[in-house]
Amino acid sequence: MPWSHTVPATAATSPPAVTPPGDTVDVATAAQLRTALAAATPGRTIRLADGTYVGSWKVSGRPGTAAAPVVLVGGRGAVLRTSSGGGNVLQLTDADWWTVRGITVEHGQKGVMIDSSDHVTVDDVLVHDLTMEGIHFRTSSSDGTVQRSTITDTGQDGRGMGEGVYVGTANTLTDRSDRATIRDNVIGPLVRAEGVDIKEGTTGAVIAGNTFDGTGLTGANYDDSWVDVKGNGTLVVGNRGSRTTHAGFQTHTQVAGWGCGTVFQGNSADLTGAQGTGRYAIDVSGDDAATCPTTVYADNTVVGGDGLVTPGVPVLPVAGSTPTATPTPTSTPSSTACTAAAWSATAVYTGGATVSSGGALYRARWWTQGEVPGASGWGAWERLAAC
């Protein structure tokens, strides 16, 4: 299975929110909101006045475009909620290139459900008071982003189905909700399942710069950590977690060939009060260096528990180091000539491999396939020299 990693900017370097060009529709009543959602067009901004908008809010078949996304925006005082606490508060279906920004989503079964919709961004949104999960990318909704948001008080029914952010579908490899980015959020307390759950069948998720508070984890359905990764090629970087029932960040092989290529870098875990055995900051099952690797760097830290990582999983001393099992590259960086083979989109590269691309020499920081060298300064490829 292919996997690659791209790390987005952190909160300190994220660009400011920009409203796209286009017309603006001001909304102050539930009836106006329903009309505006049904008539959304590329480039339109639907601007909510403060107030409570009661209903089950649906967008279907009203996509934006890359140049002209649709934006649903308001302040925290603009509250979407259901009347009964059942159903989805906000449902986006076949609605590519939407941004939901600034508002509050509350009092439903599920908060924001994203189906068959690519490039959806949930930005600076408060999601809470739900019986099940907070935000869910499903049915091959790729390139979605959740950022700068607060998610709390989910999973109120107590069945362990209150994930903060849920990507994909359990036991379903046809749901290719790939390349989700979950960054700079506050997730918890009272998120009663994992803060982030990345399902098998999905590839290339990035979980970066989040703060997790596991107060309220139920332990039902093995919900005993802040993050659970079962997809491939997931990067978990720069997160902080405290208060968990058992472990911190987990990766599992739930289905053969999945849960592979996860990279853990620069995370901190406080396991004070965790229960049971195997209380690791990074809890790994299914690791195989040759076929299903997990990469753990020594800049991850832990307080309490039984240690940093499951015994047997190697820890690399410095980000970008070459694992012991990987041959030392024989190429020498040069300012005049590239001495490595040209990068290939279909080749699988292990940590330490060198390639030439775009007039420069690059070295792989970890296992990767398909990521273009130079596409991201924090991605899988480290630029060594000009050719």
Is the predicted pLDDT of residue 220 greater than 90, yes or no? no
Whether residues 232 and 374 share a domain: the answer is: no
Residue numbers of the domain that contains 212: 24-316
Whether residues 309 and 282 share a domain: the answer is: yes
Nearest Cα residue to 252 out of 225, 213, 273: 225
| Per-residue model confidence as pLDDT tens digits over 82-135 | 999 999 999 999 999 999 999 999 999 999 999 999 999 999 999 999 999 999
| Per-residue model confidence as pLDDT tens digits over 310-329 | 999 999 986 444 443 323 33
Complete DSSP assignment for 321-354: PPPTTSPPP-----SS---SPBP-TT--B-TT-E
| Per-residue model confidence as pLDDT tens digits over 15-62 | 444 444 569 999 999 999 999 999 999 999 999 999 999 999 999 999
Whether residues 293 and 373 share a domain: the answer is: no
> How many domains, in total, are found in the chain?
2
What pLDDT band is residue 374 in, cutting at 50, 70 and 90? confident
Which residue, 267, 283, 316, sits at the end of a domain?
Answer: 316
Whether residues 334 and 207 share a domain: the answer is: no
Whether residues 134 and 266 share a domain: the answer is: yes
Whether residues 84 and 212 share a domain: the answer is: yes
Whether residues 234 and 354 share a domain: the answer is: no
Which pair of structure tokens corresponds to residue 262? Answer: 């996860």
Whether residues 301 and 328 share a domain: the answer is: no
Bond before 15 cis per omega within 30 degrees: no
Which residue, 316, 332, 364, sits at the end of a domain?
Answer: 316
pLDDT of residue 381: 78
Sequence-separated contacts (24+) of 120-124 with Cβ below 8 Å: 120/92, 120/95, 120/96, 120/144, 120/145, 121/69, 121/145, 121/146, 121/147, 122/146, 122/147, 122/149, 123/17, 123/99, 123/147, 123/148, 123/149, 124/17, 124/148, 124/149
- Residue 368: DSSP 8-state: B
Nearest Cα residue to 236 out of 299, 289, 307, 327: 299
- The CA radius of gyration of the chain, in Å to the nearest whole number, is 21
pLDDT of residue 210: 97
Residue whose pair of structure tokens reads 């379903």 in the numeric block = 172
User: For position 332, which CATH number holds?
Assistant: 2.10.10.20
User: For position 210, which CATH number holds?
Assistant: 2.160.20.10
Phi, psi (rounded to 5 degrees) for 331: -75, 150
Residues 284, 287: Cα–Cα separation, whole Å: 7
Whether residues 154 and 89 share a domain: the answer is: yes
Residue 15 inside a domain? The answer is no
